Chains A and B, each alone.
Chain A
Amino acid sequence: MGRRYWEITSTWVVILAASIAAWSLAAATLPVPDYFLPPPSAVLSAFGDLMAKGMLPTFVGESLRRILLAALLGLFVGVPIGLLLGISRGTADFAYPVLNFFQSVSGIAWLPLLLIWFGFGERTILVAVNYTVLFPVIFNALLGVRSVPPIYVNVLRTLGASRWRIVRDVLVPGALPNIAMGVRLGLAYGWRALIAAEMLVGANGLGFMIFNAQAFHLTARIMLGMGIIGALWLALDYFLLRPLEEATIARWGMVQR
């Protein structure tokens, strides 16, 4: 196995070096205008430039603030709503088709309407992103409660548990894996909706950064922005979202559905 570890890192080095070399070569030789494919060095200098001008921290800061706000809202508002809807069969059957429909219409599709209601401002972005995050969270929390195997509920009933205890000891823990998945899915949609909303509304943020850079043919900034968008999501996902999901599944070893 040890050999494989070295083998993987060496393949890594080879692939990275080769792709950077190919990129620089293509940038230098391809018969296209410069702004079509800036070399890696141009992206690095764009990074230095945007840091020196204090623009990059603002763009990253704005985007992160919005997505983390949506995450908090999703967790502390979306999850409770989903659980409440899921607990009683009546509301669950009523809410399921509605939630399914509204979840399928992404936040971005609502953007034109939001522009009319809230205009080209921060509020439109926040509503669009939070809508995109909230519905998958609520939908999956409801799904989670409904998918708890009835055997657990019956066991507690035989022990004379009250409805509240059944909710606390079975329905909520049982729904956790779905809740974690719903949060991850919601934020994945939300992150993309945020980038799109920032492009359309033109407020500071990574979406705006790459969209605005395109207008001035600053392709190096576009590539830098894209790299950061991808890297930020991976960091958020790896450090916050996957642990959330693994903690719920790992603890109970439950397989969803």
Chain B
Amino acid sequence: MMHGWRGGVRAFGRGLLPFAIILIVWALATRAGVLPAIFLPSPGDVARTAWAMLKDGSLWINIGASLGRVIVSLVVSVPLAVGLGIFVGLRRRLSPVVEPIAGFFNALSGIAWLPLAVTWFGLGWVSVTFIMFNTIFFLVFYNTLVGVRSVPRIFEHAVRTLGGSRRHVIFQVLIPGAMPNIVTGIRMSIGFGWRALIAAEMIATSTGLGFLIYNASNFHQTDTIFVGIVTIGILWLLTDRLILQPIERWTVERWGLVSSSR
């Protein structure tokens, strides 16, 4: 509805307005001394801490650790999950059985694996990455599997009446037809993956944003916690805009297929 970059700026401005108001209310509340600084630091404190952490690089290290784990897990487990999901989805006999099992592991994926991961890999980045991997893998695998199996048969008939072989059915019908589910799976895996990462970092490692804010709470450094939380929110919105929406726009929305919203 907004045209050109001016529209974009105005929309962006309108998007920031609520946050500006919240900042003002927050500032007034702390100045009025409603709560001691330990409980609610002023925006100024948080900004100063943030600036300090940026300057001494401690924030960057933790951002790098967390983002690194997200990217690595995505790059490794998404292709694997999509490939396996399609492979199993095509097996008439195997897929109805694997689907419920994948559904079970899908329901279990994430932080529930932490104790077992720590038992196997001990505390540290291996366990955390393992948690990220299985969260992303099972969500994408399950959705791909369901996606391939839910492509309407009519498309398969159409291709076969055009003389298409199994190869054509797979690449020209089943895979594109499963795209909406695959995209949903990827979007959800990022949402759940981030959450699992933050929780895992709090428990099982000594770097990353999760550790940063959990450790800060041991020393009552509330301002550091706020810096961490705001950073997590911003990183999430970035990964959502930069990774997710292009994928969605390039595949699903262009074809007008309904891709379920967030």
A94-B18, A115-B217 are contacts. A108–B119 as well, Cβ < 8 Å? no
B137 interface residue per 8 A CB criterion: no
Residues of chain A contacted by B232 (CB below 8 angstroms): 104-105, 109
Cα–Cα, bound, A39→B260 (Å):
41
A165 interface residue per 8 A CB criterion: no
Q: Is the CB of A233 within 8 A of B107?
A: yes
A7-B93, A200-B202, A255-B258 are contacts. A219–B116 as well, Cβ < 8 Å? yes
Cα–Cα, bound, A106→B104 (Å):
23
Q: Is the CB of A223 within 8 A of B116?
A: yes
Q: Is the CB of A213 within 8 A of B258?
A: no
Query: How many cross-chain pairs have Cβ atoms below 8 Å apart between A and B?
Result: 170
B101 interface residue per 8 A CB criterion: yes
A155 interface residue per 8 A CB criterion: no
B72 interface residue per 8 A CB criterion: no
Q: Is the CB of A195 within 8 A of B111?
A: yes
Q: Is the CB of B213 within 8 A of A112?
A: yes
Expressed in whole angstroms, the minimum distance between the Cβ of A186 and any Cβ of chain B is 11
A70 interface residue per 8 A CB criterion: no
Q: Chain A, 191-219, contact with B by CB distance < 8 Å: what is the 0/1 string?
A: 01101100110000001001101100101
Cα–Cα, bound, A56→B166 (Å):
50
Nearest to A35 among chain B residues (CB) is B119
B214 interface residue per 8 A CB criterion: yes
> Which A residues contact B (CB, under 8 angstroms)?
7-8, 11-12, 15, 35-36, 93-95, 97-98, 100-102, 104-106, 108-113, 115-117, 139-140, 143, 147, 178, 181, 185, 188-189, 192-193, 195-196, 199-200, 207, 210-211, 213-214, 217, 219, 222-223, 225-226, 229-231, 233-234, 237, 255-257
Interface size class of B (residues with CB under 8 A): 35 or more
Residues of chain A contacted by B110 (CB below 8 angstroms): 192, 195
Q: Is the CB of B18 within 8 A of A105?
A: no
Residues of chain B contacted by A234 (CB below 8 angstroms): 103-104, 107
Residues of chain A contacted by B250 (CB below 8 angstroms): none
Residues of chain B contacted by A102 (CB below 8 angstroms): 233
Q: Is the CB of A116 within 8 A of B217?
A: yes
A94-B18, A97-B15, A255-B258 are contacts. A112–B203 as well, Cβ < 8 Å? no
Cα–Cα, bound, A98→B17 (Å):
10
Cα–Cα, bound, A12→B101 (Å):
10
Nearest to A101 among chain B residues (CB) is B233
Q: Is the CB of B101 within 8 A of A15?
A: yes
Expressed in whole angstroms, the minimum distance between the Cβ of B207 and any Cβ of chain A is 16
Kindly specify which of B2-10, B26-34, B47-55, B190-198 makes contact with the partner chain: B190-198
Q: Is the CB of A101 within 8 A of B19?
A: yes
Q: Is the CB of A230 within 8 A of B104?
A: yes
Cα–Cα, bound, A180→B243 (Å):
27
A36-B120, A94-B18 are contacts. A230–B108 as well, Cβ < 8 Å? yes
B225 interface residue per 8 A CB criterion: yes
The contact of A200 among B113, B119, B203, B261, by CB within 8 Å, is B203
Expressed in whole angstroms, the minimum distance between the Cβ of A187 and any Cβ of chain B is 11
